[in-house]
Amino acid sequence: MLIVANWKAYVDDFTKAKRLVSTAKRLSRTSKNSMVLAPSGPFIGALAPGNKSTIAFAAQDVSLSTGGAQTGEVTAGMYAVLGATYAIIGHSERRALGDTDSIVAEKLARALAHGLTPILCVGEHERDGEGRYLSIPREQITSALRMLTVKERSKVIIAYEPLWAIGKSAIDAIRPNDLAEIVLYIRKVLAELLPGKSSSRSIILYGGSVEPGNIRELARNGGVNGFLIGHATVDSETFTELVKQLS
């Protein structure tokens, strides 16, 4: 399993940030799971350089800019230089702030151009009984990958994050069988964009109210290759329990 810990803007204390990294490093020594930490941009600059552990770092977003007279922008190239190897692209919170499908596609290309592995976030706001909601992740995936080469498409990780499941308790979040169905659908969409059986090797993550109480069942029966987790990863005890549940 691949566990991506998206700290968002929850962690603004550097002592806590270092403690969370130490926790991840300790867990990585005994866990078979791969761990990626996504701190804020400034903390990546302080934590990622010189990292010799098996944990990796991800940018929470990248700029559309390629550099130059763009005050305040942080480019994919900057993150790569600092030591990030992944980049979260198209997160629902970025889309809510104005990232359209075309912007997400451009950011995806920026990340790939600098050797970052993109984690493309897709998902619907709500579900209907007729399955019309399926058109949303389909369009988000196809519009993001359409302009990429086949080789580039194969590098993209898909993170399914249905907005209706975010912020709920484990018991009210997505059920494993429902997750397995959407993962199968996503693989069918990817099969239209990748040759042969390449889509079967694509990594698909799930994000949306993942807690110690439901992560094991989602992993066993949800058909995913890992998880993109937010708030639950910024508490050392909860993060430890999440990882242990997957052991």
> Is 73 an active-site residue?
no
> What is the tens place of the pLDDT at every residue in 91-104?
999 999 999 999 99
> What angle separates helix 14-28 from helix 236-245, to the nearest 10 degrees?
20
What CATH number did the domain enclosing 83 receive?
Answer: 3.20.20.70
Overall average pLDDT of the 173-197 stretch: 93
Residue 75: predicted pLDDT: 97
> Is 106 an active-site residue?
no
Confidence of residue 150 (pLDDT cuts 50, 70, 90): very high
Overall average pLDDT of the 32-41 stretch: 96
Residue 197's SS3 state is coil
Q: Is the pLDDT of residue 23 over 80?
A: yes
Overall average pLDDT of the 209-236 stretch: 96
The boundaries of the domain holding residue 189 are 2-245
Q: Count of domains in the chain?
A: 1
Residue 116's SS3 state is coil
Q: Is the pLDDT of residue 178 over 90?
A: yes
From the list 91, 93, 124, 211, the catalytic residue is: 91
From the list 93, 124, 152, 161, the catalytic residue is: 161
> What is the tens place of the pLDDT at every residue in 37-70?
999 999 999 999 999 999 999 999 999 999 999 9
Work out the mean pLDDT of the chain and round it to a whole number: 94
